[in-house]
Structure 1
Amino acid sequence: MSNQKTGSGSYEQVFAQQQEYIAKRASGYREQALKIYPWICGRCRREFTHRNLSELTVHHVDHNHGNNPSDGSNWELLCLYCHDEEHTKFENFVRYGSTEDTEIKTSTYNPFADLKERMQQKK
């Protein structure tokens, strides 16, 4: 190979930087998660291939991006849409608190409970 110069150094330097980047990225949590888990969204069950793998994201279950255990226990593979929805739910929880306190209970009133008796009274 020739020792041609590029804008950022020789070919060998660029190649070495690229290999370092690939090795560093391969040790990252995304690559680890993609090796551990099947390429399926954990929510909508959409399946992914190499062609659309960029649309599959790693969600941190506890929302702490620094918590990356090698067993993957804090990771969940989610598609872009489900990942966005998960973060929206978390932001709403942080902003508005738990929804359990404000949950509207199902009505127990039945307007037709005594309909038969009413109909008999009119006769």
Structure 2
Amino acid sequence: MPQKKSHLDKDKLNQIVIEARRNQELREQSYRGQALKMYPWICGRCAREFTHKNLNELTVHHRDHNHDNNPPDGSNWELLCLYCHDNEHSRYEETRFGNAQSHAASEPVATHSPFANLKTMLNNKK
């Protein structure tokens, strides 16, 4: 019986390896895999360098923000770290939908200054 179990374990292990290799090939065919082969592993904004150890923190940004536009030459892609990618999308959303601060400018400004007489009040206590 121990031989049968060992044989099953080897078959299961072989199946896992085959599936992992197939998944790797599929990833490499994706635009992320293509971009990682095409470009150096450096953030296009902050110039942070990446290795295999932290490569999951490097993202592919679509310059025109259209995730269906994936030309094979990679002209619509740039590699950005997670932080720069979030920043880029925040800036895009602000320009697309308007900046929230511009709406606040039309509201009345507070005129009360609670510390205006602070010096006088402190001098009166002495």
Same fold (TM over 0.5): yes
Q: TM-score range by the shorter chain?
A: 0.5 to 0.7
Q: Give the TM-score of the pair, scaled to structure 2.
A: 0.65
**1:49 is matched by which residue type in structure 2?**
T
Tell me the distance in 1 between the aligned counterparts of 2:64 and 2:44.
15
Tell me the distance in 2 between the aligned counterparts of 1:80 and 1:25.
19
User: Which residue in the other structure is 2:97 paired with?
Assistant: 95
Alignment of 1:4-83 (within 5 A): 4=9, 11=12, 12-83=14-85
% same residue: 58
User: Which residue in the other structure is 1:2 paired with?
Assistant: 7
RMSD: 2.0
Gapped runs of 5+ residues in structure 2?
1-5, 100-126
Deviates most, 32-41 or 88-97: 88-97
- Aligned to 2:61, what secondary structure does the other structure show? strand
Once the two structures are TM-superposed, the CA of residue 20 in structure 1 deviates from its matched residue by 2.1
Tell me the distance in 2 between the aligned counterparts of 1:44 and 1:4.
46
Q: Give the TM-score of the pair, scaled to structure 1.
A: 0.66
Once the two structures are TM-superposed, the CA of residue 74 in structure 1 deviates from its matched residue by 0.5
User: Which residue in the other structure is 2:113 paired with?
Assistant: none
Higher helix share: 2
Gapped runs of 5+ residues in structure 1?
98-123
